Amino acid sequence: MSAIVELNNISKIYGEITAIKNLTLKIPHNQIFTLIGPNGSGKTTLLKILAFLEKPTKGTVTFNGELVKEGNLDRLRLHSTMVFQKTALFDTTVAKNIAYGLKFRGLSKNEIDEKLRSVLKTVRLEGYEKRRAKKLSGGEQQRVSLARAIALGTELLLLDEPTANLDQKNMSITEAAISQIVQERNTTIVLATHNMLQTKTLSENVALLINGELIHVGKAIEILEDTKKLAGFARIENIFSGISRITIDGTAIIDVGDDVHIEAALKKEGNVSVFIKPEDIILSKNKLTSSARNVLKGKIVEVYDLGSVVRLKVDVGKTFTVQITKRSFNEMGLNLSTEVFLTFKASSVRII
């Protein structure tokens, strides 16, 4: 498959800091390409170069076979759009936020109205046209930013941590919209993320960056299988490795060490690695009456307030990450050292 962008031995230097070092990479047309790596690895800088907002200190960038240079920079910027991690919306209606870039590009009112209806449907914000953008929830604001970018219809769409700190509803809607864009429009998406499950679900190809250097390019599953490279930065919490044995009920009991056993709806014996999404775990202060096969008692050891949601680390012998709403956190009166129960289904345990 031909490449929409080719980066040839590019570096980006800010004073004494080298953000990107001798990177060569091809981004294929019409797919979702993911950049992963720890904070400070150069992902955002690379996105800015792809958006033609930053120029490499050295090396060349080719877009659709055309060498990017000073003379064609303004024209090529019209073919690429970047959505930043931190939402920046005008203090006006949702419709006017989305229409701004379209008016700048000379579209008629009818064309703008048609695009407005289409993109709001894609991000599931139909009927929000007259609402004040800055009065919306953080997740809804992020979806408005995405809609504004989609409406421009650029060939290249760059997303910097598009679902960071979103609750499960907004995350699911955003991921569905990203997938739909590629399927229905002539668009290539490059996204930077720490969410490895999202990487596996959405991406065809992945590039791993560490300290500004390209470490690996390949299929998502290739990266996911190398947990050593991901350790310490990737949002792929609740990965456990252990010995699996099949029960008489046809499920598997996995001994992951430290007297912790996980029951999973899989039929594989021997060494396995599994993960459980934080959103699939129910947290309670009392043991629940439930058909779920996994009930673990532990203590809260870390709390991360992310606005509308709270992410907790719970020590049950192994450390689990759980995500709940801020409202639930407050109603249960949770805090560090609070004893809690974690409950999740055997079907929520997924093999890597």
Give pLDDT tens digits for 213-238. Answer: 998 888 876 766 665 566 555 555 78
Whether 12 and 113 map to the same domain: the answer is yes
Whether 188 and 54 map to the same domain: the answer is yes
Whether 290 and 150 map to the same domain: the answer is no
Given a cut of 80, whether residue 352 has pLDDT beyond it is no
Read off the pLDDT band of 163 (50, 70, 90). Answer: confident
Whether 198 and 255 map to the same domain: the answer is no
Q: Report the mean per-residue pLDDT for the chain.
A: 89
What is the pTM (predicted TM-score) of this model? 0.69
Whether 280 and 164 map to the same domain: the answer is no
Whether 84 and 211 map to the same domain: the answer is yes
The CA distance from 198 to 175, in Å, is 8
CATH code, domain with 99: 3.40.50.300
Whether 284 and 323 map to the same domain: the answer is yes
Whether 162 and 190 map to the same domain: the answer is yes
Residue type, 263: E
Domain boundary among 184, 199, 230: 230
Whether 248 and 177 map to the same domain: the answer is no
Burial of 59 (0-12, 13-18, 19+ CB in 10 A): middle
* Strands 17-28 vs 3-14: parallel, antiparallel or unpaired: antiparallel
| Mean predicted confidence (pLDDT) in 262-274 | 90
Whether 264 and 332 map to the same domain: the answer is yes
**Region of residue 30 (phi > 0: left; psi between -120 and 50: alpha; otherwise: beta):** left
Q: How much is the pLDDT for 231? A: 54
CATH code, domain with 306: 2.40.50.100
| Mean predicted confidence (pLDDT) in 278-295 | 90
The CA distance from 339 to 301, in Å, is 10
The CA distance from 343 to 292, in Å, is 7
The CA distance from 95 to 89, in Å, is 11
The helix-helix angle for 109-122 and 168-184 (nearest 10°) equals 130
Please count the structural domains in the chain.
2
The CA distance from 252 to 261, in Å, is 10
Read off the pLDDT band of 150 (50, 70, 90). Answer: very high
Torsion (CA) 96, 102, 108, 112 in degrees, nearest 10: -60
Read off the pLDDT band of 195 (50, 70, 90). Answer: confident
Higher pLDDT, 164 or 180: 180
Q: Which residues of 203-237 are buried (b: 16+ CB within 10 A; e: fewer)?
A: bebbbbbbebebeeeeebeebbeebebbeeebbbb
Per the structure, the complete domain to which residue 316 belongs is given by 239-351
* Strands 80-83 vs 156-160: parallel, antiparallel or unpaired: parallel
Give pLDDT tens digits for 15-50. Answer: 999 999 999 999 999 899 999 887 788 999 999 999
* Strands 270-276 vs 339-344: parallel, antiparallel or unpaired: unpaired
Q: Which residues contact 194 (CB under 8 A, 6 or more apart)?
A: 36, 161, 164, 233, 234, 235
Domain boundary among 174, 196, 230: 230
